[in-house]
Structure 1
Amino acid sequence: MVYSLLIVLSSVCAFTDYKFRKILNMITFPAIFVGLLYWTINDGLQGMVTWGAGLIVGLLLLIVPFVLGGMGAGDVKMLAMVGALAGAKFVFMSFLFGAIIAGLFCFYYLFVLKGSRKDYIPYGVFISIGVFIQIYLEVGVS
């Protein structure tokens, strides 16, 4: 169930980031709360620890780029949402895959297409790609 929810929410966040340059609080905040309910109902106190660890890891991974001005607050909240729903390991691996894809895209954009460093790059799209890759690796395709 969590993976299905993550696919939908990540897709919505990627779309709004790409189209409107905004990741909506009305998506991320309720999803973080749903993660708390999900983990608490399924695993009790240990579930709350899983939720908290995922949330904190998600926040910490992008807080420095955000503070330095290279990342929007929506990206930070989106990654925290992923962590709250799927846990620390999942969000960390999603982040790594998304960062690798984003790096390759930026290299191509800057050096092959001759884009500008000042152009907006919707990082929520790359977070979503990282989530999709991690779900695929954990679940596979039947």
Structure 2
Amino acid sequence: MLINIFLIVVLAVCVVTDLRKRKIYNKVIFPSLLIAFGMNIAIEGISGLGESLLGFAAGFALLLIPYILGGMGAGDVKLLGLIGALKGSGFVLESFIYTAVIGAMLAILVIVMRGGFKKSLGVGMPYGVAIAGGAAMALLMDVEFL
């Protein structure tokens, strides 16, 4: 439960900074990663650290290629990695699926608001919002959370 609350707080901070400044700050992500590893060790012992590291790697890897291709910022990649570090690899994979759906809906919204696809080319969007929404959906679908 404490991990879920911490995740919600971090996601809220990242959404605000992504909307306002189009950045997800390292000064939020890096301390949160240390806290994620520490919380998982405290709860599950050394196996918790293993699952946390695996979750971080999975989340990071899921967005690494889009980042390399210029489709998103490094903060987005690190945020998904943080989600995996907090909640594990299964959760981050589920979050990623919801993130893709929410991201697609946001992209359609941008296209409609810009007046068409051609006018929307090259226009970015704060993908941290989609990532936070995906993680929130995964939390809501988690029976243990409710």
User: Structure 2-normalised TM-score?
Assistant: 0.90
1:60 matched residue in structure 2 = 61
Structure number with higher relative contact order (C-alpha < 8 Å, ≥ 6 residues apart): 1
* Distance verdict in 2 for CA 1:4–1:141, change over 3 Å: closer
Q: 1:70-120: per-residue Cα shift (whole Å, max 9, x none)?
A: 110000011111111111111111111011111122123225642512112
* C-alpha distance in structure 2 between counterparts of 1:105 and 1:122, whole Å: 9
| Equivalent residues in 2 for 1:1-142, closer than 5 Å | 1-111=2-112, 113-114=114-115, 115-139=119-143
* C-alpha distance in structure 2 between counterparts of 1:78 and 1:28, whole Å: 7
User: Structure 1-normalised TM-score?
Assistant: 0.93
Percent sequence identity is 35
* C-alpha distance in structure 1 between counterparts of 2:17 and 2:46, whole Å: 34
Partner SS for 2:142? helix
* C-alpha distance in structure 2 between counterparts of 1:117 and 1:111, whole Å: 12
Unaligned runs of 5+ in 2: none
Unaligned runs of 5+ in 1: none
